[in-house]
Amino acid sequence: QVQLQESGPRLVRPSETLSLTCGVSGDSVNSDYYWGWIRQPPGKALEWVGSIYDNGSSYYRRTYYNPSLKSRLTMSVDTSKNQVSLKLSSVSAADTAVYYCARPKTTQREYSGRYHDAFDVWGQGTMVTVSS
């Protein structure tokens, strides 16, 4: 059974970089799945942050980022640690949110649509506050 666990600092200063990792157990980060990040400011709606695919081949890596965050966002996959990372630079109070990592329902081979399937496996989320 796949399990995801977000970790990282709970408090980040304005203008600094928010760094989170998603530890994956029960699957490989290089399997045939995308990995995603979603955030939710307190009392507000879910917001997709980005999605990454890295099957370990240098020929096929792909990322999709929320355009509103793209200039500040970097997502990566660490095969040795079996985790997915998120870095968001120049943060402000508007980046305060619960951050979730998630995996889609189906593999890319099984998925008949464009991009990737809905997120079916979610971490418990980690609350990150941006404040001085």
Partner 1 sequence: SDEITQPPSVSVSPGQTVNLVCSGHELGTKYVFWYQQKPGRSPVLVIHQHNRRPSGIPERFSGSRSGNTATLTISGTQAIDEADYYCQAWDSGILVFGGGTKLTVL
Residue 105 as a binder of partner 1 (CB under 8 A): the answer is yes
Q: What is the total count of residues that contact partner 1 (CB under 8 A)?
A: 25
User: Diameter of the chain by CA atoms?
Assistant: 46
Instruction: Select the residue interacting with partner 1 from 16, 27, 32, 47 (CB under 8 A).
Output: 47
Q: Which of 25, 60, 81, 115 binds partner 1 (CB under 8 A)?
A: 115
Min. distance of Cβ 83 from partner 1 in angstroms? 18
* 64 lines the binding site for partner 1 (CB under 8 A): yes
For partner 1, which residue of 51, 83, 85, 126 counts as binding (CB under 8 A)?
Answer: 51
Task: Say how far apart CA 102 and CA 100 lie, in whole Å.
Answer: 6
Residue 19 engages partner 1 in binding (rule: CB under 8 A) = no
Q: Secondary structure of the chain: what % helix, strand, coil (to 5)?
A: 5, 50, 50
Interface residue with partner 1, options 33, 35, 53, 100 (CB under 8 A): 100
Positions in the binding site for partner 1 (CB under 8 A): 36, 38, 45-48, 51, 64, 66-67, 100, 105-106, 112-115, 117-120, 122-125
